[in-house]
Amino acid sequence: MKFDELPLDVKRLILRYMTYDETARLRQVSKEFNVIGQQHLNAGFKQVTKRHSALVHRIKSILPRRESERRNHALSRHNEILTAVETRISLLNMTIMKHVTANQCCFIAGKVLDEFNTVFDQIECSINSSRPIARSHEILTELRDISSMAMEHFDEHIVPLLKKKLLTESSKLKRNIDISSLTEVKSFSENYFDHHEHLVRWSTTVAALRAKVNSFTSICQQNKVQVKLQREQIRRLESTVRQQQDQINTLLEKLNSKQLESSLGKRSCTESDKGPQKKRWKIA
């Protein structure tokens, strides 16, 4: 039996055993496979968002509420990774998925979905086995590179094609609508894509600002730790200075007492020497 002769449910079940990257590449096989592949890729992105929200809910239920306790918790790195993944998902929603919801195309980046799932598998394996996970930049390097390349490719190559397609469809409507309505459609399409480009730029600036804020917060935390250490050192030095001052005061008291004793001894000696001389002078 050929693949085209199989029922639709069986075809979808076969696609589940394939990676999303393979599904995206095999869309060129036939029109029917293209339709099934598009549905599978769009459903894959929705599944990624659901899996991400489930993991976030699971980790937040375990983490303490205080931020100071969260930093030292074993799942702090997991939380950082999931927040970084959330920014990637939001960027993809603003670039690719905006056109997907408008039924202009499908989610073409199958490799990005595979990388999302590998990151989620690592997080789940670390939580279940209670083993420490690697740092966020080590795990998310591949995801950031692939997703950024996918968004750049989409903006540079696919968005112009969608513009042409939309303009050709609007030109076909010329026969049935007036020239004024046609200009409105063109202006709408141009404004739509201009707004889309503005959103992409805004999202990139927001991501850069978030990275700067995270680096600034880490620097502030390090400075706070250094300030605490310096305060402890100052307290220790103050205590040592006080002890030394007390010792100096005791030594000064001892010196004063010795000086008093020596002065009293000298006076007594001089008085004893002067006394018998007077008596001898009187006898003479």
pLDDT digits (tens, 9 = 90+) for 97-112: 988 888 888 888 899 9
Give me the pLDDT at residue 218, please. Answer: 82
Predicted structure pTM score: 0.58
> Which DSSP string do the residues of 26-80 spell out, in sequence order?
GGGS-HHHHHHHHHHHHHHHHHHHHHHHHHHHHHHHHS-SSHHHHHTSTTHHHHH
Report yes or no on 198 lying in a domain.
no
Question: Each residue of 39-60: pLDDT tens digit?
Answer: 999 999 999 999 999 999 998 8
pLDDT of residue 134: 85
Q: Cα(203)–Cα(88) distance, rounded to whole angstroms?
A: 10
**Structural domain range at position 73:** 8-176
Tokens of 176: 């049935």
Residue 263, domain member (yes or no):
no
* Residue 234 covered by a domain: no
Would you write out the chain's pLDDT as a tens digit for each of its 284 residues? 777 778 888 888 888 889 999 999 988 888 888 899 999 999 999 999 999 999 999 988 888 887 767 777 878 888 899 999 999 999 999 999 988 888 888 888 899 999 999 999 999 999 888 888 888 888 999 999 999 999 999 999 988 888 888 887 777 766 665 555 556 656 666 677 777 777 888 888 888 888 888 888 888 888 888 888 888 889 888 888 888 988 898 888 888 888 887 877 777 776 666 555 544 444 44
Give 52's contacts (C-beta < 8 A, 6+ positions apart): 82, 85, 86, 89, 116, 120
Within a domain: 261? no
**Domain count of the chain?**
1
Rounded Cα distance between 111 and 120, Å, is: 14
Q: How does DSSP classify residue 88?
A: H
Is the residue at 71 inside a domain? Answer: yes
Residue 142 in domain: yes
Contact 13, 21 (CB under 8 A): no
Contact yes or no for 53/28 (Cβ under 8 A): no
CB contact set of 93 (below 8 Å; sequence gap of 6+): none
Cβ–Cβ < 8 Å for 100, 42: yes
22 located within any domain: yes
DSSP string, 203-271: HHHHHHHHHHHHHHHHHHHHHHHHHHHHHHHHHHHHHHHHHHHHHHHHHHHHHHHHHHHHHHHHHHHHH
Report yes or no on 259 lying in a domain: no
pLDDT of residue 181: 58
